[in-house]
Chains A and B, each alone.
Chain A
Amino acid sequence: MGIINFAPKILDPIPGGKYVVNAIDYVVNWARANSIWPLTYGTSCCAIEMMSSSMARYDIARFGSEVFRASPRQADLFILAGTITRRMAPAIQMLWEQIPGPKYAIAMGACTISGGPFIYDNYAVVRGAQNLIPVDVFVPGCPPRPEALFHGLLTLREKILKETCRNPWHEGQPKDVSTMDRYREAAKTWAALEEMKDEEMAEARAKFKEENPDYKSSFKPIRVKKEDFPEVERKPFRRVGLTQLELYQKLHDKFPGITFHTHSEDPIETVLANAPADRPLEVMVEPEDYVAVTEFVKNDPEFKMDFLIDVTAIDYDDHFDLVTQLRSLQIGHKIFLCVQLKKDFSIPEEKRATSLLASVPTVSHLYPAAEFKEREVYDMFGINFEGHPDQRRIFLDKDFVGFPLRKDFTHPEMIRRPV
């Protein structure tokens, strides 16, 4: 605020000076409350609603906030639009420090209030922006409508109008309150209130029965007519490319190690011939054959698997299943190569959670698309890819402990969903 903060000191001794101070307050607040410039910041869904609110239909310019600044040094307002993850948290604190005061923050959406849909079983999301920076207004919703954001903006305006020269803006402190503690307290209070209500209602009912022993309720529930839905048949699926049986036989002739897992007791040929057309063939490949099979299906003129859909893994008790999903753009058939990787149990038990338990050669020299996908599998499961050009964590910090998509993963900040 600068020089205006000295106005009371200078003007108070002069007769009638207090009225001048009040007038200064009025003018300055009017100007500030009608020109709140937000920072262009958004991580997810709420950012789109924030953008919508500044567009023609909703027109945030009516409240003087249409100037979205890309630099925090020119902004007054920090609209926290979207989920805050642990990796993003330092960036948010830095952005907040870069905004010059007086500055305000609006927490937009459920994620920034408490974690929202990501509150349980989650290792990545910060539960509430108020743990990082002081928040002035909370706007609930998932995502909030533009009207809700405007309500938040108007609430903030009222707060700004209450500031005076004598009581200027000061930066608050982030509230380091665990959201779960507040939830549990609220749940306890709520349960106590419910109990009290039940007791009172029971008393009132008993009293009413004593007073009116002959009373009969005239309430009749309205029955909504139920719609009668007939049974629907499933539509047949148009098959493209080679059938599952042909694909399997051609692969099996070339690589006898390839198998197909089925729970049925019929021979594999019968099972594959009767398999649904929309289900891709998923074959088990030996780890030694993995690169050779991938190379074969990529270059063979009958397969022409030129497109890598995805590489992913599944964690079981004693092994990982690495699934490489391939597709032929020209012919149209798909094949999933499933490699069973035995976990290395020679590693001592206390070190297993943080060490790479299995190893497999990379296919990123055949499919450049596999490079990032394999990094993701390495990051999430802790599978080592031999010969990978750039094996680093991709989604998590480099000092993150553990591999989240393993079934035995634990994290100190993870809360189990109450059943």
Chain B
Amino acid sequence: MIQPRFSNLPPGFRIQRETNTEEFFINMGPQHPSTHGALRLALRMDGETIVELVPHFGYIHRGMEKQAESMSYLQYIALSDRQDYLTAIQNNLGVVIALEKGMNVGVPEKGEYIRVMLQELGRIASHLVFYGCFGGDLGGQTCLLFGFKEREMIHDILEEVTGSRLTTNFFRPGGSRYDVPDTFIPRVKAFLDHLEDAMRDYERFLSKNIIVLERSIGIGVLSKEDAIAYGCSGPVLRASGVEFDVRRANPYSIYDQFDFDIPVFHNGDCYDRYKIRIAEIHESMKILRQCIDKFPKDGPWRSKEKPVRLPVGRYYSEIETAKGLYATYVVAATTGEKPYRIHTRGPSFPHIAALNKMVQGHKVSDLVTIMATLDPVIPEIDR
């Protein structure tokens, strides 16, 4: 009878197994280039194989929800920029839609088009960072340079429209802060034409690269049942074969007026999670082209009233960001400008919770690949 090696496992580790090999523990992070921020992973190893993984959060817990209770609703929009900073513009919309439900204010057609276009630009920007980090984590620094090259063009557009590169703070209940400049549509058109060509290069680099295929096919498989049970959403859920996209399930803004597909892949491994993001960039470009054709030249871009007060009640909104389901839950105990409580459900948190399921039996270098394809943003988890 072989005795379990550890009678007292460190906190979080649960698997009791009998082994005659030397198990040991590795600490990864909080300062590690492959954990995509201040995340700490504790690994229990059997030789080179990962037995169990325990994530430790909170190294960038900034107490946003406590702070929000002493801020006004409009000030909180600025804080939401700092959650998922790769697509700050999408977080803005998530908060604003929740507020609009209570403030009972409509958005004119041009305002909705501005919203959808900026959303899709943000989605492309986030997926380009994913592309770069995925290539970079697999050892190809070229991809990192390429992914950030086209992203700078999106930042130029965002800067022209919102006045800021990264933390946009742009949408308001009833529309947005400013109208778009006249150069907006031509620039987006030029960018799309450029990206069309660039995407061919992108796919040529990674999609059939033998190193990528060897290191990602069959690695980190997340089954359909596990993906649903752990609450995964976005590209991670769709790569596991579940067709769920909030843009299609509960269309917000004017997403019901566009013709686009929801790409679904069925293997649930790292390669599918990579392919689905490339497919989503193409779908976003499709939506943007339709927006350019239908973009209203005249007309108002925001509503007449600019409400700041929210009546008593609980308001809930959900949108599909580049990472997945982003939900905002606002509780107003009194009618006024300040929330009683604001809670955000970020998409990355469940993905890291499911990480333990995916890495068991893989090597540490596979963990780096899996982390890259989950594409987590840690401040959104910790808030």
Contacts and interface: CB of A to CB of B under 8 A. Distances in A.
A353 to B, nearest CB: 15
A44 B379 contact: yes
B38 to A, nearest CB: 4
Interface string B231-261: 1000000000010100001110010100000
Contacts of B316: 279-280, 325, 336
Interface stretch (B59-67, B264-272, B363-371): B59-67
Interface string A361-401: 00000011101110000001000000001101111110000
Interface in A83-97: 83, 85, 87-88, 91, 95
Contact of B304 (A45, A231, A314): A231
Give the interface SS of chain A, mostly helix, strand, loop or mixed: loop
Interface string B319-351: 000000101010100000000110101000110
Interface in B300-320: 300, 302-304, 312, 314-316, 318
Contact of A56 (B57, B79, B148): B148
B229 A314 contact: no
B148 A45 contact: no
A367 B231 contact: yes
B101 A278 contact: yes
Contacts of A182: none
A56 B59 contact: no
Contacts of B327: 309-310, 325
A143 B165 CA distance: 9
Given A56-B145, A70-B33, A369-B353, A240 B249 contact: yes
A329 B244 contact: yes
A395 B167 contact: no
Given A120-B67, A230-B300, A325-B327, A372 B353 contact: yes
A214 interface: no
Contacts of A416: 70
A51 to B, nearest CB: 7
A52 interface: yes
B86 A229 contact: no
B318 to A, nearest CB: 8
Given A332-B249, A368-B230, A369-B350, A121 B70 contact: yes
Interface residues of B, number: 82
A143 B86 CA distance: 12
B67 A48 contact: no
A343 B316 CA distance: 26
A125 B353 contact: no
B14 A123 contact: no
Contacts of B325: 309
Interface string A84-125: 010110010001000000000000000000000110111111
A93 to B, nearest CB: 12
B85 A44 contact: yes
A207 interface: no
B381 to A, nearest CB: 9
B228 A48 contact: no
Contact of A87 (B61, B67, B86, B230): B61
Given A44-B85, A310-B327, A88 B250 contact: no
A142 interface: yes
Interface string B201-224: 000000000000000000000000
A48 B319 CA distance: 23
A185 B67 CA distance: 25
Task: Identify the interface centre among B32, B81, B302, B303: most chain A CB within 10 Å of its CB.
Answer: B303
A416 B231 CA distance: 36
Interface string B38-61: 100000000000000000011111
Interface of A: 40-45, 47-49, 51-52, 55-57, 70, 82-83, 85, 87-88, 91, 95, 117-118, 120-125, 142-143, 145, 227, 229-235, 237-238, 240, 263, 276, 278-280, 282, 306-310, 312, 314-315, 323, 325, 329, 332, 336, 367-369, 371-373, 380, 389-390, 392-397, 404-405, 409, 416-417
23 contacts: A43-B59, A57-B149, A88-B59, A118-B64, A121-B70, A229-B108, A229-B303, A232-B107, A238-B256, A276-B101, A280-B316, A310-B329, A310-B345, A314-B331, A323-B329, A325-B329, A367-B229, A394-B57, A395-B57, A395-B58, A396-B58, A405-B65, A417-B70
Task: Identify the 4 closest CB pairs spanning chains A and B, nearest first.
Answer: A369-B231, A232-B106, A395-B58, A55-B148
Interface of B: 11-12, 14, 30-33, 37-38, 57-67, 69-71, 78-79, 81-82, 85-86, 101, 104-108, 129, 144-145, 148-149, 151-152, 155, 165-167, 174, 226, 228-231, 242, 244, 249-251, 254, 256, 300, 302-304, 312, 314-316, 318, 325, 327, 329, 331, 340-341, 343, 345, 349-350, 353, 378-379, 382
